[in-house]
Structure formats: structure tokens, C-alpha cells
Amino acid sequence: MAKPSFWNNAKRYYDLKSYWLNRLGSRVHKLPIDAGFTCPNRDGSITRGGCSYCDGRGSSLRQAGPLPPVGDQVRRGKAFYRQRPKAEKFIAYFQTFTNTCAPVEKLRALYDEALAVEDVIGISIGTLPDCVPDETLALIRSYAERFHVWLEFGLQSIHDRTLDRINRGHNAAVFRDAVQRASGGRILICVHIILGLPGETRDDMIETAKAIAVLPVQGIKIHSLLALEGTELGERYRRGEVTLMTREAYVGTVCDILEILPPEMVIQRLTAEGYPDIFLGPAWAQNKLAVLNAIDRELEMRDSWQGKRREEQSLSLSGE
């Protein structure tokens, strides 16, 4: 398969910036919002304790004290990004914790507030697969008729044994069901995965990508497992009980995954660096640019790109 021309970019994968330029002809920034949600995997609605690698902040925004109203957060973010060249349109990104865990009327008020700000063309809603009842999906679907709407599911792994091990609170069947119920309309679905989770081999990680590749999913975010102070995983890492991926292994696995993803799937993120004040490892993850450059180099060395091995994959999936 040749590199797809519809990307209109110089990269070897379909990055988010290119996607927006192609779709709207303008540059779009995601503005992170903390709307005051909590995590059902911590507050007891589903489980307590949280995921083994999670420090409980939800995102870097949660450290800031009393929360400003959603509209103020959007306007502040806009003012910041407007200083950068060509920042024309914005997506309000409901990022912190689980942004569908509230009655529909409360969700409607929060989403409306963000969408009322000038130049906000849509919302991106981060959530868990077990927190999207049908009435919530109906609300989100109603926005998708008029705006760009992404629903971002934290999956992390398709393997139930891993999800159990990290205390994720949901299994793969719940994720598949959520994706199927959310799909079929105009909602765009993005899935988050983590590479290097305890007990997973490279093949396990590729299996996760294969499972996503055959679902109606339009975007993906990938990052490596990070060890953070104050987390169960961080403590195990300190005791030498957990091995984190090397940069070489991470870059190689990301490229293997990119090669089998559909070429139209938007690659929203390929790195994460964690919070510097509690960061334990792996050290290489803190240099995002170096990781991205290494991925570019690896794809170039392979003379490969996103989707190049997809046909081989389909043949092997169909058993031919």
C-alpha cells in the first residue's frame, strides 16, 4: 500500500494537525477543561483505589485550587493559544477524570457553556467505557449533529488479565459494547492505550491495536507506562518489581502498531511525559520531541507508514 495522499502531510502517519487542516482548512487547538468531575474508579461508584499507575490528579489542571467556570477556562485557553500563529478554531477538551459521570441535565449545561464561546467548534469528552449510559450517548449524539464531537475512551489494554491487574474497573467486553453503542452516528471515537503495562508482551500490545483497528474508531492516543510517585505502580517500580519499556522497545512497538492501524485513523498522541514533581521513570519519556523524532526515524528506516501492513493483517485475520 502506498502512503495515502489524502493526509496531505510530510509525516508517515495521520496526525491530528493534518486532520484538522484537511477537514477545515484551519488550525484547531484542544483546550483542556477541568469541569469538576471525579473518577468512579476512585470514589466508589465502581471501585475504590483507582488504576495502579494513577496518581489521582486526573490531569495537571486539578492542582489549581477552586475551579473557574467552564466558559472562563475556555476563554482563558483561547487567549493563550491565540498568541500562537494561526490558532483559529478550538475544541473544548473535557479532560479531567470522567466527564460523562453526571445526570444528563448537568452534562448538558457544562457542554453548552463550553460550546457557547466564540470559535469553539466542538467538544472532546474524556471518559471510561463503563460510564456512557444510552441517555448520555443520546445527549452527546445531539451535539454531534451540529459540532465536532469526539468521545475519548480510556481502554489501555484489550486484555482482561491486564485490566484486572491494574484495577481498571472495566473489561474488554464493556469497552466493545460502549464503542458499538456510541458509533453509527456522527460521534467520533478516540481510544487511549498504554504500552508496557505490567505482564504484557509486545504481542499483547499489538493484539490491543488489532482489536481497535477492526472497531468503528476514528482516533487513537498512545503512550508508554509511566511510574509516578505515590502510586502503587511507582512503589513497585522503586522496589524493582516493575520493568518499564526502553525507548527503543517503545518506538519499535509504536511503529508496529501504526503499520496495522487504518490509514484514516487519526493519531492524536504518541507520547506522554507525566508530572515532573512526581515522575520516577522512564527518563526518556520526558523528552517528547526526541521520542517523536525516533518514531519518524524508525518509520523512515523501515520505509513504512501507518496502515502499510494492514492488508497483510486483514489476510491473516481472515485466515487466508
Instruction: Specify whether the CB–CB gap between 75 and 117 falls below 8 A.
Output: yes
User: Cα–Cα distance between 53 and 154 in angstroms, integer?
Assistant: 13
Beta bridge partners of 151: 125, 189
Nearest distance, CB of residue 41 and ligand SF4, angstroms: 4
* Nearest to 283, CA basis, from 253, 244, 242: 244
- Nearer to ligand SF4 by Cβ, of 163 and 220: the residue is 163
How many beta carbons lie within 10 A of that of residue 205, not counting itself?
27
Lookup: cell for 198: 505490567
305: three-class secondary structure by DSSP: coil
Comparing CB distances to ligand SF4, the nearer of 49 and 112 is 49
Question: CA 4, CA 293: separation in Å to the nearest integer?
Answer: 21
CA 73 to chain centroid, in Å, comes to 21
Nearer to ligand SF4, 54 or 291 (CB): 54
Name the minimum Å distance from CB 163 to ligand SF4.
11
Minimum CB separation from ligand SF4 for residue 201, in Å? Answer: 22
In this structure, the number of other CB atoms found within 10 A of the CB of residue 220 comes to 25
Query: Is the Cβ of residue 144 or residue 172 nearer to ligand SF4 in the bound state?
Result: 172
Where on the chain is the footprint of ligand SF4 (CB under 6 A)?
Answer: 39, 41-42, 50-51, 54, 58, 97, 128, 154
Cell digits of residue 55 = 496518581
Strand partners, 224: 195
In the complex, the smallest distance separating the C-beta of residue 3 from ligand SF4, rounded to whole angstroms, is 35
Comparing CB distances to ligand SF4, the nearer of 48 and 297 is: 48
Q: Helix or strand or coil: residue 271?
A: coil
Q: Nine-digit cell at 130?
A: 463503563
Nearer to ligand SF4, 148 or 223 (CB): 223
Q: Least distance from C-beta 5 to ligand SF4, angstroms? A: 38
97, 56 Cβ separation under 8 angstroms? no
Least distance CB 169 / ligand SF4 (angstroms): 7
